[in-house]
Chain A
Amino acid sequence: MSALMAVAIGILFAASLYMMLRRSIVKLVMGLILLSNAANLVIFTSAGLTSGAPPLLDKVTKEAPVGVADPLAQALILTAIVIAFGVLAFSVVLIHRAHEVVQTDDLDQMKDTDQ
């Protein structure tokens, strides 16, 4: 299962980098979305994949049973998703404004600041 996840993450990273290297700013934002998802999946996978064992304490002994999922990694991902959501909302607004101001969606036309 982890091997499959690793491949999937690799594909996500590759796809996001490919999208970011395209000239259109819309594709750039799509690349950023894929990138943040790929990073979240890295945390999820590297903390260990467990299925069917929610991190709940035993009713009687008040201790966690052996082999439950690690709740901390999931808390980290939850935080990261929220942050990524905010940042991506900003970047969507940014490309909209940039398109209005610069009148193009071609990144090659946006190099006034590099001269």
Chain B
Amino acid sequence: MSNLVFLPILIPLLAGAVTLALWRSSRWQKRVSVISTLVYLIASVMLAQTVSEQGHIVLQVGGWQAPFGISLVADFLATIMIVVTAVVAFCAVLYSLVSTPGTHIKFGYFPLLHLLLAGVSGAFLTGDLFNLFVWFEVMLLASFGLLTLGGERAQMEGAIKYVTINLFSSALFLSAIGLLYGSVGTLNMADLAVKLQDVEQQGLVNAIALMFMVSFSIKAGAFPFFFWLPASYHTPIIAVSAVFAGLLTKVGVYALYRMFSLVFTGDIEFTHEILLWVGVLTMLSGVLGAASQFEIRRILSFHIISQIGYMILALAIFTPAAIAGGVFYLFHHIIVKTNLFLIAGLTQMLQGTYELKQMGSLYRQRPWLAALFLIPAMSLAGLPPLSGFFAKFLVIEAGITSQQWIATGVALFVGLLTLYSMIKIWAEAFWKAQPEASGKDISLPLLGVIPVALMAAMTLIIGLYAEPFIQLSQATGEQLLTPATYIQAVLGGQP
């Protein structure tokens, strides 16, 4: 049964290989991609079902027992991330069928997309630190390819920044792995958690923890390492931007959650205090950056940063309620943010631009598209009864109970500014009259609208029927803060 854990990695890898073999036939690449992401979705739901019964599923790859082999571990957090990834992947592939230009598909769009998914899934499921590094690199190389497909000037400039900062972060990650291995002699996360409890030099562990924190913060786009994100995320085609916005930074956040709830918990007053301020400043700088922008994709890119701040804040408060809020925030945000990018793509199909100044009249032209935009936009801003309200509510409530007044105040203020940005898009693109109407009547492709509607429906469900989702987040929070169960599941009967 534990082989189920490997499926979310195996399916996209296979799909990547098959689509690569079908290099000449765009049509078959599309078919294989739809089928494989659907199978991936089914496999992830099956995994979720098993995990919800058993708590942890552990696969020791090749039968090599932990801590000597590589362990793949599916706990609640990893499984939630896998399921949401599958949803995003399926929607993005459907959307790509109609929005991706033929030239991109000819040069390997689908194989790269599947490899990206394999890397993301591997990063979520692995229980070994070096293996995490390898999956990061798989994901990065695929994302480099996707980012530069098309070869326009803005893409090249964005890609140089993106590649450089990510390679720097990887080198830092690798050095930290080396130092950690040198000081405790293991890289299995569960084993690390055990061994680090007995380390006498807490100062050395803190230094290594900070190296990991910086490395993952760069990948997550946290303050002060966020500048690469708004410089590159708006350059590729919109389906790629949507997948990046939904998944890539969240892998960094996931890694922070994993490392700072399981491994580096020896000196919480030091590490989590830093995380708290990183979270606060990330929220602020992201939302202020967004307020100054007038291009939809750039506004949305800056909002990724500010939302990452909430998740890091939740991790920093480090109570079960806060972590629960952070987990809720993670899966709510991935769906909403991907959806907003896809909707931006639809508006671009209609009006041929992403510049708010040149857009307008969308509400009159396409009232239902306006409704589809309002759902994720208001959810992002945190208006009840949508999913974002409960995410913000859980985090802020946890902040108040643990008396983090400044952080909580900033979180509330940032929510207000998020609303401002969303209303700016609404007023400029949907409400005001278009300055130079083209007069052409363009019909939107159905396959472009279905994924948007699907994700909007999920946002509504998470908001209106929040109870099971909140319970799931709370169970995840409890599980993350009792690392003993994770260690027990991976290492078995060993102490």
Contact = CB atoms under 8 A, between A and B. Distances in A.
Interface of A: 20, 25, 28, 32, 35-36, 38-40, 42-48, 72-73, 76, 79-80, 83, 86-87, 90-91, 94-95, 97-98, 101-102, 107, 110-114
Contacts of A32: 164, 167-168
Interface stretch (B73-81, B150-158, B325-333, B466-474): B150-158
Nearest to B136: A83
B369 interface: no
A84 to B, nearest CB: 8
Contacts of B145: 90
B130 A76 contact: yes
B11 interface: no
Contacts of A113: 154, 157-158, 161, 231-232, 234-235
Contact of A102 (B140, B157, B183): B157
B393 interface: no
Given A43-B177, A101-B156, 15 more contacts: A32-B167, A39-B171, A42-B178, A76-B178, A79-B130, A87-B140, A90-B145, A90-B163, A94-B160, A97-B148, A97-B151, A110-B160, A112-B157, A113-B154, A113-B158
B218 to A, nearest CB: 13
B39 interface: no
A28 B164 contact: yes
A98 B183 CA distance: 42
B141 to A, nearest CB: 6
19 contacts: A25-B160, A28-B160, A35-B168, A38-B175, A39-B174, A39-B175, A39-B178, A42-B174, A46-B183, A73-B178, A76-B177, A79-B134, A90-B145, A90-B163, A94-B148, A94-B159, A98-B157, A102-B153, A110-B157
A45 B181 CA distance: 11
Nearest to A95: B160
B439 interface: no
Given A39-B178, A87-B140, A94-B163, A114 B156 contact: no
B23 interface: no
Consensus secondary structure, chain B interface: helix
Nearest to B157: A110
B181 A43 contact: yes
Nearest to B298: A113
Contacts of B148: 94, 97
Contacts of B161: 113
Interface in B112-168: 130, 133-134, 137, 140-141, 144-145, 148, 151-154, 156-161, 163-164, 167-168
Nearest to A9: B175
A35 B171 contact: yes
B270 to A, nearest CB: 22
Contact of A101 (B141, B153, B234): B153
Contacts of A35: 167-168, 171
Contacts of A101: 151-153, 156
Contacts of B183: 46
Nearest to B158: A113
Contacts of A44: 178
B182 interface: yes
Contacts of A97: 148, 151, 156
B288 interface: no
Contacts of B374: none
A111 B157 CA distance: 7
A47 B175 CA distance: 11
Give 6 nearest A-B pairs by CB, closest first.
A46-B182, A43-B178, A98-B156, A39-B174, A42-B178, A110-B157
B159 A83 contact: no
A112 B160 contact: no
Contacts of A25: 160
A94 B144 contact: yes
A88 to B, nearest CB: 8
B38 interface: no
A42 B175 contact: yes
A38 to B, nearest CB: 7
B164 A80 contact: no
